[in-house]
Structure 1
């Protein structure tokens, strides 16, 4: 009986892990046409233009920690497909010169926007896995001209068990 329980548990675990392996992985290859990419990935959440290329944005999840961008070249073929909510992509946003359009083309649309009235800054927030490990949120602050003023990363409090409703938020 004990052997049967272990065998069932191992079988269940194998099925579960194989199902999870497909989440977030996309079966697209460079050189495929834009229509092939869309047929495999579905309609993009946003489309951006960058020079002669088109960028197809694919946001994921309710937790939104991954956003993929498919770059379609001027010939209508897939040039690259990558997850863009990374330390490297955020670090490449030039404080003092990057615009809202630059940020959209670099890391896609934000999961949330807010406004800091005392500082006159618009804030775009991007939940992500910092260093592919920590549940974090990158906040990109824009001045009134739409230029990046600063970037600030911090923990994603949605994952903090002590702050979750109904018990963690009592008294706040």
Structure 2
């Protein structure tokens, strides 16, 4: 799979470790975000870029990391069509994909360590969306999003 990974300065070291790990799992990596841990980088633009490239089918999935994982999840989720899931354990990572078809996994570098993050990423990337009852629920989310977007365009 083509995996986009991005981080702000708070998660630079975790991003670098995960890049190598994901390559070892056999995936292509596309790096977004900061290039060192010293220069302050705002996470929203990174999240928007990864989410946008998923929508444009340039990436299959994304992994975004900031201090808590919350900011990147919120930012990525603002991009229409994107479902970003904050996960700090393997069960949540599995369910993010199997129940919610989340295209983006987010994590917090100040919340978990690199070894747990590797296991979370591994489970997330190995999990597939089976459809079934979950497809109906994901479709309800998509439909509501489209309804809100249609209403928003009439306000301008």
* Bucket of the pairwise TM-score, normalised by the shorter protein: under 0.3
Greater relative contact order (CA < 8 Å, ≥ 6 in sequence)? 2
Structure that is richer in strand per residue: 1
Normalising to structure 2: TM-score of the pair?
0.26
Normalising to structure 1: TM-score of the pair?
0.24
Structure that is richer in helix per residue: 2
